[in-house]
Chains A and B, each alone.
Chain A
Amino acid sequence: MTPSILVLGIGNILMSDDGVGVEVIKILQKEPDIPQNVLLIDGGTQGLDLMPYFENIDKVILIDAIVSKDKKAGDLVVIEHKDIITTLGQKMSVHEIGIVDLLVSLSLIDKEPKELKLIGLTPQSVEFTYGLSQVVQNNIPTLIEAIKNQIKSWSKEYIC
């Protein structure tokens, strides 16, 4: 079956919790109950290089560390489609600029996904060290559940 949902983890694993998106992809790749039409990609800090993975995709979940002033470290954050470019575009970091360029470029060549969701955890630390903080590590199951629920709810639409 052609994959129709892309789950794309982004971030830098060398900057502690910034790598949460990438670490979650590694875990999901070992989970037995991910449907076959879901493509799991470790996007790292790339931008346009990720474009091939948007072929034949109409729904995308981006996973990343997301800073929010109303949330505390480890909290789940979900951003809806219309706010994603603004949210990522304001982040003063390297990789999100790449992702924004990617999303803008996809719209230019008519390949933007129909639905897009940004799901992540609020980081405790984005210092230059390898490995997640304890509080983010502890909340990974919550993040995985949120991703799986999103996949489930989209998959229902396919059946209808």
Chain B
Amino acid sequence: MAKRIVVDPITRIEGHLRIEADLEGNKIQKAYSAGTMVRGIELILNGRDPREAWAFAQRICGVCTSVHALSSIRAIEDALDIKVPKNASLVRKLMAGTVMVHDHVVHFYQLHLLDWINPISALEADINKTAKLAQSHSKAPKTSVEYFSSIIEKLKKQSNLKQFGLFSNGYWDHPDYKLSPEENLLLLSHYMEALVWQSKLVQIHTLFGGKNPHPNYLVGGIPAPINLDGNAPINMDSLEKVNTIINEAINFIEEYYLPDLKLIAKNYPNWFEVGENLGNFLVLGEPLYDSHKENKWFIPPTFIQNRDLNNPQNIDYKQIKEYITHSWYDYSVGDDKGLHPFDGETKLHYTGAKPPFETLNTNQKYSWVKAPRYKDYSVETGPLARVVALYARDLHGMKAEVNSLFKELKMPVRKIYSTMGRTLARGLDAKLYAHSMRGWFDELMQNIKNGDTKTANQEKWQPSTWADDIKGYGIMEAPRGSLSHWVHIKNGKIENYQAVVPTTWNASPRDAKGQPSAYESSLVGHTLANASEPLEILRTIHSFDPCMACAVHVYDENGKQQIKVKIQ
């Protein structure tokens, strides 16, 4: 008889995720992923002016404001058939690239690293040894004894803040923390360096978007004019600042992120053995500029089936369907049918047990997350999907990059299908985007120097220029994977809107055929050292960088929001 364990909520993620796993002995046989909050953005957008959709869309997530705004803008521009000026596309690319690099670095250091390093052990580190280790570890500049003793002081201060400090919610006695005290201290110092650095990086959004964390967007272009010599928002001064920040981003990834990833990978070889069981990877694609219609790609739409890297398949967007067989919604066509996002329906219907309950009834509906499928296959999206797609298509030097990294780690490349492989892929993804930002920046400068300062195309701004009944979709590669927004515009107003977000693909419940999602299948085969401290589950689930905040929102069983707050 299998024993079921429940991890709810999964900590150090955005939003609420519950994982239930059936164990035989200490080994996971089956796992279930449940979003315990519902998302209702679609309901709020219906009937609104499509030109304003982005401003609502960017509020659906606590973290990824910018990507939802961009995907929404692209969907509207697709419906209205607007050609976006090159400058605007490049500025948008730089903003999206910033989000990508920022998200990956913050995820690794602030959300995932504590699954691999132990801050309690770091307090015991020999500072002289740590300084020596730092000097051989990478080119990162801070390697002095004084520096590491200041880090120790900060850690001691944190260890007094048990409830909400850095050390809260950890399984610090778990036997699978493998790093030496010095390695733990070194990586914790980089945790802090990442905090300082990320604060600089996001300023690109303020420089281009006028403000952060909610940059301004505009259907047809960008709202900021360009004038190199004048006081326009985009001028020589702001561009020079962006240039510096891009250089710092490249340096941070080369000097901190990649060497730190390798240190983790070398110390945790077992984590190349588990964590990926689907074998199907989906990349909906990142257009070269903004429009998918041009069929020119920065990252081409790719479906990798059964880990077959010799046959990267092109994408047919008609083959995307969302199922609700195990999700708390009703479809007019019945629970066992999938709906394409253009025909998507959002009718909430909670049928689960009344909380509090011990376990979910996973034979029935058990999540607020819908189940998107491609060609009826369950797929994984995100950094690992992008990396294997680029590997299979031999683009952006990714094949050589992966081969060389795995050679250095003395691992065969097929071990990329794992928790550690996914974690490494995120680093390679960040490197690709940081270097691409350099390319986009240079292209932007060249275009402006050639005399093109156009930033917006307003030909289709007036609804009187629109057809009565139009549809469009905006796709992009967001940090956690492929993001698509789908809009139907009727008589100038939004008739239907659906967002299919990366975490919905990865964290979905089972579908009509009972196929598990990427999260659910990834956990099968994990052996837990101690079922009451499921560090192993956290490592693999965190490797996907869950962002339930945009997959779902906080609601209780009646579709009402649930908050439990006490004021002392």
Residues of A within 8 A of B (CB): 12-15, 42-52, 55, 66-70, 77, 79, 83, 85-87, 89-95, 97-98, 100-101, 104-105, 107-110, 126-130
Q: Are B164 and A45 in contact (CB under 8 A)?
A: no
Instruction: Indicate the size class of the contact surface on chain B.
Output: 35 or more
Q: Are B214 and A44 in contact (CB under 8 A)?
A: yes
Q: Are A45 and B62 in contact (CB under 8 A)?
A: yes
Interface centre among A15, A86, A94, A107 (most CB of B within 10 A): A94
Given contacts A51-B199, A130-B44, contact A12 B59 (CB under 8 A): yes
Interface centre among A44, A70, A89, A108 (most CB of B within 10 A): A108
Which residues does chain A contribute within 8 Å of B166, judged by CB atoms? Answer: 104, 108
The residue in chain B whose Cβ has the minimal distance to the Cβ of A14 is B59
The residue in chain A whose Cβ has the minimal distance to the Cβ of B212 is A49
Which residues does chain B contribute within 8 Å of A100, judged by CB atoms? Answer: 164
Q: Are B195 and A104 in contact (CB under 8 A)?
A: no
**Distance of A47 Cα from B212 Cα, bound (Å):** 12
12 residue pairs A–B, Cβ–Cβ below 8 Å: A42-B214, A48-B199, A49-B63, A51-B198, A52-B200, A52-B212, A90-B565, A92-B563, A94-B549, A105-B195, A127-B560, A127-B561
B25-50 interface bits toward A, Cβ cutoff 8 Å, 1 = contact, 0 = none: 00000000000001011011000000
Q: Of A13, A14, A51, A90, which one neighbours B195 at CB under 8 angstroms?
A: A51
Which residues does chain B contribute within 8 Å of A110, judged by CB atoms? Answer: 154
Q: How many A-B residue pairs have CB under 8 A?
A: 135
Which residues does chain B contribute within 8 Å of A49, judged by CB atoms? Answer: 63, 102, 202, 212-213
Q: Of B62, B158, B560, B563, which one neighbours A108 at CB under 8 angstroms?
A: B158
**Distance of A101 Cα from B335 Cα, bound (Å):** 40
Q: Are A46 and B163 in contact (CB under 8 A)?
A: no
Nearest Cβ on chain A to B340's Cβ, whole angstroms: 24
Which residues does chain B contribute within 8 Å of A50, judged by CB atoms? Answer: 213
Given contacts A49-B212, A86-B163, A105-B195, contact A91 B41 (CB under 8 A): no
Which residues does chain A contribute within 8 Å of B211, judged by CB atoms? Answer: 42
Which residues does chain A contribute within 8 Å of B40, judged by CB atoms? Answer: 14, 128
Nearest Cβ on chain A to B256's Cβ, whole angstroms: 15
B243 CB-CB contact with A under 8 Å? no
Q: Are B198 and A14 in contact (CB under 8 A)?
A: no
The residue in chain B whose Cβ has the minimal distance to the Cβ of A53 is B212
Q: Of B44, B61, B213, B567, which one neighbours A129 at CB under 8 angstroms?
A: B44
**Distance of A94 Cα from B554 Cα, bound (Å):** 8
Q: Are A83 and B568 in contact (CB under 8 A)?
A: yes
Nearest Cβ on chain B to A12's Cβ, whole angstroms: 6
Q: Are A108 and B163 in contact (CB under 8 A)?
A: no
Which residues does chain A contribute within 8 Å of B567, judged by CB atoms? Answer: 66-70, 77, 79, 83, 87
Nearest Cβ on chain B to A99's Cβ, whole angstroms: 10
Which residues does chain A contribute within 8 Å of B566, judged by CB atoms? Answer: 69, 90
B564 CB-CB contact with A under 8 Å? yes
Q: Are B62 and A47 in contact (CB under 8 A)?
A: yes
B14 CB-CB contact with A under 8 Å? yes
Given contacts A14-B60, A45-B59, A89-B163, contact A109 B554 (CB under 8 A): no
Which residues does chain A contribute within 8 Å of B275, judged by CB atoms? Answer: none
Which residues does chain B contribute within 8 Å of A43, judged by CB atoms? Answer: 213
B196 CB-CB contact with A under 8 Å? yes
Q: Are B198 and A48 in contact (CB under 8 A)?
A: yes
B553 CB-CB contact with A under 8 Å? yes
Q: Of B15, B164, B196, which one neighbours A104 at CB under 8 angstroms?
A: B164
Given contacts A67-B565, A100-B164, A130-B44, contact A45 B549 (CB under 8 A): yes
Nearest Cβ on chain A to B374's Cβ, whole angstroms: 28
Q: Are A52 and B206 in contact (CB under 8 A)?
A: yes
Which residues does chain A contribute within 8 Å of B14, judged by CB atoms? Answer: 94, 97-98
Q: Are B213 and A128 in contact (CB under 8 A)?
A: no
B65 CB-CB contact with A under 8 Å? yes
**Distance of A42 Cα from B65 Cα, bound (Å):** 13
Nearest Cβ on chain A to B47's Cβ, whole angstroms: 11
Interface centre among A51, A83, A105 (most CB of B within 10 A): A105
B463 CB-CB contact with A under 8 Å? no
**Distance of A107 Cα from B157 Cα, bound (Å):** 9
Q: In chain B, residues 530-548, which have Cβ atoms closer than 8 Å to a Cβ of chain A?
A: none
**Distance of A66 Cα from B214 Cα, bound (Å):** 23
Q: In chain B, residues 172-221, which have Cβ atoms closer than 8 Å to a Cβ of chain A?
A: 192, 195-196, 198-200, 202-203, 206, 211-214
Nearest Cβ on chain A to B563's Cβ, whole angstroms: 5
B51-65 interface bits toward A, Cβ cutoff 8 Å, 1 = contact, 0 = none: 000001001111101
What 6 A-B pairs come out closest when comparing CB atoms?
A45-B62, A51-B199, A46-B213, A128-B40, A49-B213, A67-B565
